[in-house]
Structure 1
Amino acid sequence: MTSRAADAVTMPERGICAHRGASGTHPENTVPALEEAVRLGAQMVEIDLALTRDGEIVLMHDATVHRTTNGKGRVIEFDLAALKQLDAGAWKHPRFAGTRVPTLAEALAVLPRNVWINLDVKADARFGDRPADVVRRVAELVVATGRQHQTFLAARAEVAAIARATFPGIRICSMDRTKDPAEYVRDAVARRVDFIQLRDCAQDARLPAWIAALKTAGVRINYYYTDEPGEAARLLQAGVDFVLVNQVESVRAQVLPR
């Protein structure tokens, strides 16, 4: 059930999405990256979610921890206590040394209620192949914190089906991309998803027609991704709703000045 407070929140219609937080300047998928994205005024924040061995949801893009922490091994092989011992910031810059891998609950605690939260769910075999467990836990946290109005799951059809069976009102961003984006667009419209995340088609002559079809169907349009302010501006002017970027400060300053 959505609270009255959530009902009263006005959500952004368009803007910049901070990809893994302000990942261009801060360690991705960490609290400092999220706080920086909020400080810079991002209208949407994208984070990646993975399951630990003991059933907790943490922010991690890769199936293994070695790229973004000082540890080694698969995320699913760690329990939360062990994962919390890792340094998730020093790889980016010494000033972030000691930054920890956050849980979804910790991430939600620093995100305001008037930005979109793009939850990229990692649930395939590399991450333990436990999609029902991931979706159930994510849905529980979203509902418990009253974030239904601003969250959506970026997931493939099979995970989306589990999500909607678990929490019928949850918003879905289709991640069922195809070699030809036209098929991806048609599928998103047919399935009546809430969002789509286009990529690698900014120069495609068919993009205006796809945008028109998605708008008619009420599907919000994300675009992954660009750090070029000019391209971000063109995409927004063409009708894309949110453009994912790593360099939040530089892109937002030129495309959507305060």
Structure 2
Amino acid sequence: MKQALVVCHRGASLQAPENTLASLERAIELGAGAVELDVRPSRDGVLYVMHDATVNRTTNGTGRISELDSDDIDKLDAGSWFGPEFAGERVPRLDSFLDACKGRIATYVEIKEGDPAQIRDMLAVRGMLGDAWTFSFDQSIRAEARAKVPDLRRMVLYSHVGSVDRAVAQDAQLLEFHEDNLEPEAVAAAKRAGLITQMFYGGHDREVFAKAVECGVEQMNIDDVSLFRSVEKEMAMPA
């Protein structure tokens, strides 16, 4: 049985503050094949790795990232909320984060806000387009990415498209399933259509992981890497 490629959701976010260079390094140490990161621009147009629209939850600052200048964001502490050993961890600029990924781990860029073409160019100049892909919950960003940067691989959600045929019709390269729509027939159909199958699951239920393994999902976008690998290993052992 081939192991699934692990995508560390926001980096190794159970071991280090999410979307930081520390969480990236922990993901690499865990042997992850890819890291999922979220992107938003500052008021002066600098792209940052940040999930929330505000910096309130994951830094010592307050306010919307789109209303803060880069000089102010660069001073924020993005680690102390997670643990004192991460005090002084910064909100990474996207360029620095990609530099740290280059040649070490693939990148899944979720665009919360920002220009897909700018992100594509930042990946391309580093030679990282081949193993990168993108997604956005914003329909207009998804449409812009499809129209402007066809060479940047795109993922769609099964919950959005509703079928493998519609994923293919939208020129997607990856199809992501969730706990409530993961079925072996759909996974098999996606593979036959040439799509890479992925599942997002942020929980800790062994049965959910076991079903993903049984379905043959190729990539797992998850938080609990250790638990998934242990389930995968158990299921690979002869009865």
Structure 1 partner of 2:123? 142
| Partner of residue 155, structure 1 | 136
Distance (whole Å) between structure 2 residues aligned to residue 176 and residue 63 of structure 1: 25
Give the letter for the 1:138 counterpart.
Answer: I
User: Which of 90, 106, 113 is the aligned partner of 1:116?
Assistant: 106
Q: CA RMSD in A?
A: 2.3
Alignment-derived partner of residue 214 in structure 1: 190
Percent of matched pairs sharing the same residue? 32
Partner of 1:200: 179
Q: Which residue of structure 2 lines up, in the alignment, with residue 100 of structure 1? A: 90
SS class of match (1:139): helix
SS at match of 2:154: strand
Task: Pick closer, same or farther for the CA change 1:13–1:191 going to 2, 3 Å.
Answer: farther
Separation of aligned partners in 1, 2:125 and 2:74: 23
Which whole-Å deviations, capped at 9, do the CAs of 1:36-90 have from their partners, x for residues lacking one?
Answer: 0001101221111111111111111110110000111001011211101111000
Specify which of 199, 203, 213 is matched with residue 236 of structure 1.
213
Comparing 110-119 with 49-58, greater Cα deviation is found at 110-119
Deviation at 1:230, TM superposition (A): 4.9
Structure 2: gaps (5+ residues): 235-239
Map of 1:167 onto structure 2: 149
**Distance (Å, rounded) in 2 between the aligned partners of 1:255 and 1:228:** 13
| 248-257 or 222-231, larger mean C-alpha shift | 248-257
Q: Does 1:78 align with 2:54?
A: no
Query: After TM superposition, which residue ranges in structure 1, 4 or more long, deviate above 6 angstroms?
Result: none
Tell me, yes or no, if the aligned pair for 1:37 and 1:248 is still in contact at 8 Å: no
Which TM-score applies when normalising by structure 1?
Answer: 0.81
Separation in structure 1 between the aligned mates of residue 231 and residue 52 of structure 2, nearest angstrom: 31
Q: Which moved more, 1:186-195 or 1:228-237?
A: 228-237
Report how far residue 247 of structure 1 moved: 2.4
Report the TM-score when normalising by structure 2.
0.87
Of residues 99-108 and 109-118 in structure 1, the stretch that sits farther from structure 2 once superposed is 109-118
The runs of 5 or more residues in structure 1 that have no matched partner are 1-11, 124-130
CA distance in 2, matches of 1:107, 1:256: 31
Contact 1:19 1:47 in 2 (8 A): yes
Query: Highest relative contact order (Cα 8 Å, sep 6+), 1 or 2?
Result: 1
Q: Residue type matched to 2:151 in 1? A: G
Question: Is this contact kept in 2: 1:228–1:251, CA < 8 A?
Answer: no
Distance in 2, matches of 1:112 and 1:140, equals 14
Change beyond 3 A, Cα 1:216–1:19: same
Contact 1:192–1:219 (Cα < 8 Å) also in 2: no
Partners of 1:121 and 1:153 within 8 A in 2? yes
- The equivalent residue for 2:237 is none
Rounded Cα–Cα distance in structure 1 between residues aligned with 2:231 and 2:118: 38
SS in 1 for 2:133: strand
1:106, distance to aligned residue in structure 2 (A): 1.3
Q: Identify if the C-alpha distance between structure 1 residues 176 and 56 changes in structure 2 by more than 3 Å, giving closer, same or farther.
A: farther
Q: Give 1:192's aligned amino acid.
A: D
